[in-house]
Amino acid sequence: MNHSPGDPPAAYIHFMQMKAMDSKKSIRDLGETIHSLLGFKSPINSAWVKSVCQIIKSLPNEDGDAAEEFSKIKGNIRVFCRVRPLTLAESIGGLGFGFGAVVALDTSNLLLELGNNKSKRYTFDKVFQGSSQDGVFSEVEPVIKSVLDGYNACIFAYGQTGTGKTFTMEGTLESPGIVPRTIETLFKQTEDSNHTFLITFSMLEIYLGKLRDLLVPQATRSTDPLPPCLSIQTDPNGGIRIENLVSIQVSDFNQALKLYRFGCQLRSTASTNSNTTSSRSHCMIRISITCFDAPERRRETNKIWLVDLGGSERVVKTKAWGRRLDEGRAINLSLSALGDVIHALQRSKCHIPYRNSKLTRVLKDSLGDDSKTLMLVHVSPKEEDLCETICSLNFASRAKNVRLGHEESNEVKNQREAAMQNLQQKIKEIEDERQHIRGKLQISNRKLEVTRKRLPLEDQVEPSDLSTELVPPSELEFTKSIKGNVRSEMPSFMRSTICSRTKTGMERQTSLDSRRKRRPTSQRAESVSFPVKNNSECNSDYSISRSTCAVEFNKKTGVELDNATVYSQDILECDIKTVILPDRNMSQMTSNHRNMEKRGSIKSNKCNSTKVSKVDQWFTLHKDEPTISGPAPRNKWVLDIPLLENKQRSNGEKMQRNGNKKQKQADLDQKEEDKPTLKDLFAEESSSSLIFPPQSTTDDQKDSLDSSSVDDSQGCCGSLSRPDSCCNGSEIFGNEDELYGTPMVQAVEDTDHSMIEIGGHRFSPFDIDDTFSISQVFGVSVQELGGNEDMDTSPQSSTKERLKSQRALFIDDLKQKDHGMAFMKSQETAKKEGAWLIQESWASALLGLGFLDLGFNQDFFYGLIL
């Protein structure tokens, strides 16, 4: 039987006939078939076979259709397999018809005869066995055409040494390989095109891990200049360029072919046990194509790599040694790196290890997305090479599964588009909101500016006093705008005072600095005073008043406040005096008081001491004199929180003061951070202390005071102390927990409705909840009212008990210290009139302010009185 070289032999026809018969066999034999195909050592059980049968039955199409369907979704790496024909010697050696262990079943399936009736089947895009160079190139040609469309492409021949890679790529003069054919095709197509192309040719090899330009003759003599070193660079677009690689423009096929032949001559080849003309390097041909007037092309300049890889080899088999051994190792290493890259691409890993070898680095932009890659895997037909063949085929199978283009499912696409629309909508909303706020800020700024201009000079707060030193202009403007905006929208009672204003971190820092450098010209806490009707046995009207603390820094005279004064300015809110005055004097006092504030004539360094001194004088000597301003009536009580400043001054320990200053400043800052709520305010007030007439101070007491640690939160001393030793005429009885004070309260008319002003802050009566109004106003903590097991849980009872016990402690203490009958008389009077009149006044005040609405009638409040 005569066979032309291209015709399939009779054995192959017989094999195909057997295959067709096999396909008609009962699927009962499927398990055995698969077992033999895959070479599994363990038998496949019947359940597994059943499930496979089900899968096969449920397949909608024939195998061909399925393969076609599969080919549609495959990635950009196409894999062709070429089986080298047996040489004459190999045929004579007993392989019969020229078909050995590797048999191409059809144009895409390959069968490996593993022996013992076992075989393994591989599927590739194309399988060539006994095919001519023409036949191979016809399948390769589409890739070449895509290069003219602007795609990067890479065609590389892979396989065991001596399997025909160089034959496929380079070919012979009679049967040229892919490289010359590609060049020829490219020029042919460019000539047919309407566009003008610029084609350049480069050729290099990677030998022993180094790049060598194959278009540059190697130095053969010591006097010859060394060729420039080639280095791989990544351009800004992610493309790979090789510095110093010669790139020669070629205008026709012959020019390019000449260069190619020249480069091939410079290639490193050597004779090995496997191949007499074995390539000992990776040979890489680069053809770059540039077209300036073809916008339809994917990119202006693109390239195709034609790579004849070095053959993988088993050193044991080739018995290579010395340089051949090094070459073999270097080739295997780079092929291994190429395998890793393909593996990573196949798994769609985030990191592709291109940098592990020069080979993969050079091919980086031709192996990834948006490039056409064709792998030609070459295998030997010999049974003795079966192991290497299986390795090569497995490698090729992995490459075949690589999907370079990340095709998204419709669902994922929809989700992505929905998310993008969402984000765009949000961006638009945020932008709108920003514009809106910006407009409001501008309006507020204008209002602020107008308001500032209207204010009298002395009341204007200089911008420098707003602690703007360290705030950048933009931030300052924003901060001011925000404040202005907030203030304009806030009810008056929620507005922060200069002391309670919450500050930002930056603002706080600058505030601290400016506090040291510049003081506000004046800080005041409004005096509060309102008449209440006395319903008890005392028939006079009483008022509750809180004195004003005015602090002034005279910039003109340059009078500096000392540290203690400066510090005291910061705690003015705690500096509370409560005065009970007969109603007849109240109006006078109030007006005087206001006059005094208007004048602003109280010097800051005198303010507190003068104030306290007047209280002392009034209390001990001039009972008819005004307490703070205006004449003071008889039978009046002064309750005050001792000033820390005075205590510090009387102690005369500047060092201690300075030492504590940091902590105090920190406490104060903390206080400023917390925007005062009504509860906070009352809590603060309730920890105030009573101010009583000056008493003589013993040395022991002074010593005890000096040695006592000071807690700012406890007012002046936090413990029993003499007024003249620590508070300039003020005396504290009991500690913070034992004492209660009456917060400064004033009924005021706001723009819309009646308000209650407490500690300089305005609240609506409706802002005060039941428990709070009772407990805090009367000096009993909410906790005590709520859940102390030792106390009567009723608010009334606990309040009364507390008042009683505190009063008793107070009287006992006075008696023990023999503080004089005059004072005792006053105290007695206070017991009967003063203190509970305070409570009564409070009750009346609260009733008058509408606290009855909260569910407490008048009897309830009277029940709180001693």
- The answer to whether residue 391 forms part of the interface with ligand ATP (CB under 6 A) is no
User: Quick one: DSSP state of residue 23?
Assistant: H
Q: Say what angle helices 795-816 and 821-829 make with each other, to 10 degrees.
A: 170
Residue 715, sorted as left (phi over 0), alpha (psi -120 to 50) or beta, turns out to be: left
Number of residues that bind ligand ATP (CB under 6 A): 17
The answer to whether 310 is annotated as binding is no
CB nearer to ligand ATP: give 312 or 543: 312
The answer to whether 729 is annotated as binding is no
Stretch that binds ligand ATP, among 37-45, 161-169, 514-522, 856-864 (CB under 6 A): 161-169
CB nearer to ligand ATP: give 160 or 604: 160
Residues counted in the chain:
866
Structure tokens at 811: 């009287």
Q: Where are the alpha helices (DSSP H) in 26-78?
A: 30-38, 46-58, 63-73
Q: Which of 77, 79, 80, 84 binds ligand ATP (CB under 6 A)?
A: 84
The answer to whether 163 is annotated as binding is yes
Q: Which of 161, 468, 776, 827 binds ligand ATP (CB under 6 A)?
A: 161
Q: Cβ of residue 384: shortest distance to ligand ATP, in angstroms?
A: 16
Edge-to-edge order in the sheet of strand 745-749: 745-749, 754-758, 761-763
- The answer to whether residue 719 forms part of the interface with ligand ATP (CB under 6 A) is no
Q: Cβ of residue 156: shortest distance to ligand ATP, in angstroms?
A: 12
Structure tokens at 740: 């209660």
Residue 264 sits at the vertex; the CA angle it makes with 263 and 269, to the nearest 5 degrees, is: 125
| In contact, 278 and 162? CB cutoff 8 Å | yes
- The answer to whether residue 85 forms part of the interface with ligand ATP (CB under 6 A) is yes
Q: Which of 165, 372, 400, 722 binds ligand ATP (CB under 6 A)?
A: 165
CB nearer to ligand ATP: give 178 or 755: 178
Q: Is 830 exposed, middle or buried (0-12, 13-18, 19+ CB in 10 A)?
A: buried
Q: Cβ of residue 237: shortest distance to ligand ATP, in angstroms?
A: 34
CB nearer to ligand ATP: give 159 or 531: 159
CA distance 282 to 312: 11
In the region spanning residues 227 to 286, those forming contacts with ligand ATP, defined by CB under 6 A, are: 275, 277-279
Question: Of all helices (H) and strands (E), which one includes residue 291?
Answer: strand 282-291
| In contact, 185 and 192? CB cutoff 8 Å | no
Stretch that binds ligand ATP, among 158-166, 218-226, 484-492, 638-646 (CB under 6 A): 158-166
The answer to whether 734 is annotated as binding is no
Q: Cβ of residue 318: shortest distance to ligand ATP, in angstroms?
A: 9
Q: Which of 119, 129, 146, 166 binds ligand ATP (CB under 6 A)?
A: 166
In the region spanning residues 306 to 335, those forming contacts with ligand ATP, defined by CB under 6 A, are: 310-311
CB nearer to ligand ATP: give 266 or 506: 266
- The answer to whether residue 164 forms part of the interface with ligand ATP (CB under 6 A) is yes
What residues pair up with 487 in beta bridges, in sequence order?
Answer: none
The answer to whether 160 is annotated as binding is yes
CB nearer to ligand ATP: give 8 or 85: 85
Quickly count: other Cβ atoms within 10 Å of residue 228's Cβ. 12
CB nearer to ligand ATP: give 326 or 801: 326
Q: Which of 76, 129, 163, 841 binds ligand ATP (CB under 6 A)?
A: 163
Q: Which of 31, 100, 150, 162 binds ligand ATP (CB under 6 A)?
A: 162
Q: Cβ of residue 115: shortest distance to ligand ATP, in angstroms?
A: 25
Q: Which of 243, 209, 248, 241 is nearest to 227 (CA)?
A: 243
CB nearer to ligand ATP: give 164 or 582: 164
Structure tokens at 18: 């057997």
The answer to whether 161 is annotated as binding is yes
In the region spanning residues 585 to 644, those forming contacts with ligand ATP, defined by CB under 6 A, are: none
Written as one letter, the residue type at 480 is K
CB nearer to ligand ATP: give 376 or 716: 376
Q: Is 88 exposed, middle or buried (0-12, 13-18, 19+ CB in 10 A)?
A: exposed
Q: Which of 327, 197, 181 is nearest to 260 (CA)?
A: 181
CA distance 392 to 378: 8
Q: Which of 582, 593, 589 is nearest to 533 (CA)?
A: 582
The answer to whether 800 is annotated as binding is no
What residues pair up with 241 in beta bridges, in sequence order?
Answer: 233
| In contact, 686 and 740? CB cutoff 8 Å | yes
Stretch that binds ligand ATP, among 163-171, 388-396, 485-493, 817-825 (CB under 6 A): 163-171
Q: Cβ of residue 195: shortest distance to ligand ATP, in angstroms?
A: 36
CA distance 280 to 272: 10
CA distance 281 to 324: 11
- The answer to whether residue 715 forms part of the interface with ligand ATP (CB under 6 A) is no
Q: Cβ of residue 165: shortest distance to ligand ATP, in angstroms?
A: 4
- The answer to whether residue 392 forms part of the interface with ligand ATP (CB under 6 A) is no
Convert 534-566 to b/e letters by CB count within 10 Å (16 or more is b).
beeebeebbbbbbbbbbbbbeeeeeeebeebbb
Indicate the annotated binding residues.
159-166
Residues that bind ligand ATP (CB under 6 A): 84-85, 159, 161-167, 275, 277-279, 310-311, 378
Indicate the annotated binding residues for ATP.
159-166
